[in-house]
Amino acid sequence: MADERLTKLGDFIASQRKLAEMSIRQLAKAAQVSNPYISQIERGLYKPSADVLRAIAGALGISSEALYRQAGLLDTEDEERPTAVEEAIRLDSRLTTEQKETLLSVYRSFTGSSLSGG
């Protein structure tokens, strides 16, 4: 459903904003959109354009693709592809193989991902 997707998008943006320790006002200023507009997006009341999503992503320091996927603007056919988090864990030379496997297992338990091996 479109409404559910907008709600999830809004929740995702709100959680990223909170993780970045930003107020709605700070995010709005950084993304160059109005406070009420950000508030409506976070509450799932409005579907932002790709340009607005790009501006929000830049302000939050996350990839535009992450927001595009949340908004349904990108195909989710690549869902079986490892995420950036999984790739980062695999490529971190400071971690042992056992540590990598443990981190991947914990990450997948939180996200519900079922990718195997690595």
Asked: is 2-77 a CATH 1.10.260.40 domain? The reply is yes
CB 103 within 8 A of CB 89: yes
HSE value, Cβ hemisphere, 13 Å, CA-based, for 117:
0
Does the pTM exceed 0.75?
Answer: no
Distance separating the N- and C-terminal Cα atoms of the chain: 34
Average pLDDT over all residues of the chain: 85
Instruction: Tell me what the mean pLDDT of segment 72-87 comes to.
Output: 70
Q: What is the DSSP string of 13-52?
A: HHHHHHHTT--HHHHHHHHTS-HHHHHHHHTT-----HHH
CB 95 within 8 A of CB 102: no
Residues of the chain with CATH 1.10.260.40: 2-77
Burial class (CB in 10 A: 0-12, 13-18, 19+), 62: middle
Sign of CA dihedral 7, 10, 12, 14: negative
116 pLDDT higher than 60: no
Q: How far apart are CA 94 and CA 75, in angstroms?
A: 34
Instruction: Tell me what the mean pLDDT of segment 91-111 comes to.
Output: 87
**What band does 86 get if pLDDT is binned at 50, 70 and 90?**
confident
